[in-house]
Amino acid sequence: MKLYSTNLNAPEVSFQEALITGLAPDRGLYMPESLPTFSKEEIDSFKDAPYPEIAYRVLSKVLEGEVDDESLKALTYDAYNYDVPLEEVDPQTYIMRLDRGPTASFKDFAARMMARLMQYYLSKENRSLTILTATSGDTGSAVADAFYGLDNIKVIVLFPTDEVSDRQRKQMTTLGKNITAISVDGKFDDCQAMVKQAFADEDLKHMNLSSANSINIGRLVPQSIYYIYAYAKLRNYPEDIIYSIPSGNFGNMMGCVLARTMGVPIKKIIASVNENDEVPTFLGTGGYKKIEPSKNCLSNAMNVGHPSNLSRLIAVYGGVMDEKGNISKEPDMENLRNDIHSSSVTDAETKATIREIYEKYGILIEPHGAVGIRGLLDFRAQTGDNTLAVTLETADPAKFPEHVKAETGVEPNLPESLKKVESKEEFMDYLGTDYAGFKKYLQEKLN
């Protein structure tokens, strides 16, 4: 697998190098030059296979020659030791629950595979590195949990003080050992900007910094697998399917784009966003304008005013967008609009959807999943297209108990994994949003 940078100004690299370095030297994002495709027979053969087996077979083709088969199989079975339920809402609508991992969000899928692959490569070469990651809540907890206790990897997580829930924060601050959590007096976009600047800072090169954000291609590849899985379980090739994906930084949606490239007949990808509607506006008008500062919505993990993965999406359609959001080459907007639909869902609609889905079907969802469902229902209302659709629930309702309870009267059950952090002691450092302060912190901490 060869990867290029979306800024088109950096040498091609192997998967290992893209995984370890995160961002390309020209500040672009790595994208696979090409991907293998899965035939009808292969997809059929996934029908009765368990999730880790499908993950192993997909990855062994995508990463052919990059990881030895036996290690890869062990890594995937170890990473995916939890359920991936497909819950029927009605015969044309399913909810794929990606919330059964150890930190109860879909971020576990990527973080657990990425941690294991990084450890595999680093221990072969006896190297070490520090993962810097900005989080709006769930990435930080998933990454902290996935990398916890590894010898050759330190993790530093930056989160916006007022934008993460108590539970999300505790999942990052109660671990200790190789995990450091920093509470930043600012927004997610400020955290992300500081992290990106640190990667580009020559003075910090010797620190071997890497990223676990969805700028890392190691996050996206594992996120393509569940789209192949759900298709194989629910559909017979070549029947169509639609996915609706609650989106913030658009990493999850890019996983779906990769799955389509690999041959899954996906008729439409619905990228549902909250009131941060820069992407629906872009698809509508062709003009891109980031939202600064991003808006605080109930689905807090999607409060992103400038999604980094948009430059990857634009690259797939032949365009070039740099990290600042400037488009130097227009993508094929017609094809893009054909394949991707994006709609914005207000907080009021999010709440109403949580209530409606509970009242009609007895199914509990949380705000992110509600944005996904609303996006799908709006799409159906607009187009009359009733193709079988899978909408993603990206977090356990117990991560957002206040909102769920307010709309349904039900107190969601706390999964074991979340129970254990409740009473543990928290450790964290505090920083502002100025880069100089963050740089000094890193130099003191890592030297």
What is the DSSP annotation of 51-92? HHHHHHHHHHHHTTTTS-HHHHHHHHHHH--S---EEEEETT
Query: Which range in 65-73, 240-248, 275-283, 432-440 contacts ligand PLP by CB under 6 A?
Result: 240-248
Nearer to ligand PLP, 171 or 247 (CB): 247
Nearer to ligand PLP, 32 or 307 (CB): 307
| Cβ-contact 164, 300 below 8 angstroms | yes
Query: Which range in 115-123, 251-259, 317-325, 328-336 contacts ligand PLP by CB under 6 A?
Result: 251-259
| Cβ-contact 266, 239 below 8 angstroms | no
CA distance 122 to 304: 32
CB-closest chain residue to ligand PLP: 138
With binding defined as CB under 6 A, does residue 294 bind ligand PLP?
A: no
Residue 98: burial class (beta carbons within 10 Å; 0-12, 13-18, 19+) = buried
Nearer to ligand PLP, 224 or 252 (CB): 252
Q: Which of 51, 120, 199, 250 binds ligand PLP (CB under 6 A)?
A: 250
CA distance 447 to 427: 21
Give the footprint of ligand PLP on residues 320-379 (CB under 6 A): 368
Q: Count Cα neighbours of 369 within 13 Å in the Cβ-side half-sphere.
A: 31
Give the footprint of ligand PLP on residues 198-237 (CB under 6 A): 214
x/- track of binding to ligand PLP for residues 107-126 (CB under 6 A): x-------------------
Nearer to ligand PLP, 298 or 442 (CB): 298
Shortest separation between residue 95's beta carbon and ligand PLP, angstroms: 13
CA distance 305 to 278: 7
Give the binding-site size for ligand PLP (rule: CB under 6 A). Answer: 17
Nearer to ligand PLP, 298 or 395 (CB): 395
Query: Which range in 244-252, 260-268, 345-353, 409-417 contacts ligand PLP by CB under 6 A?
Result: 244-252
Query: Which range in 22-30, 73-81, 182-190, 248-256 contacts ligand PLP by CB under 6 A?
Result: 248-256
| Cβ-contact 258, 291 below 8 angstroms | no
Q: Give me the count of residues in the chain.
A: 447
With binding defined as CB under 6 A, does residue 311 bind ligand PLP?
A: no
With binding defined as CB under 6 A, does residue 248 bind ligand PLP?
A: yes
Q: Taking the chain, what is the end-to-end CA distance rounded to the nearest angstrom?
A: 35
CA distance 421 to 401: 16
Q: Which of 1, 146, 232, 302 binds ligand PLP (CB under 6 A)?
A: 302
| Cβ-contact 244, 212 below 8 angstroms | no
Nearer to ligand PLP, 52 or 222 (CB): 222
Shortest separation between residue 248's beta carbon and ligand PLP, angstroms: 4
Q: How many CB atoms lie within 10 A of CB 21?
A: 18
Give the footprint of ligand PLP on residues 55-84 (CB under 6 A): none
Reference 272, options 342, 351, 348, 357; nearest CA is 342
Q: Which of 395, 421, 431, 442 binds ligand PLP (CB under 6 A)?
A: 395
With binding defined as CB under 6 A, does residue 105 bind ligand PLP?
A: yes
CA 410-413-414 angle, to 5 degrees, is 135
Q: What are phi and psi of 267, to 5 degrees?
A: -75, -40
Q: Which of 133, 224, 252, 342 binds ligand PLP (CB under 6 A)?
A: 252
With binding defined as CB under 6 A, does residue 192 bind ligand PLP?
A: no
| Footprint of ligand PLP (CB under 6 A) | 105, 107, 138, 214, 246-253, 301-302, 368, 394-395
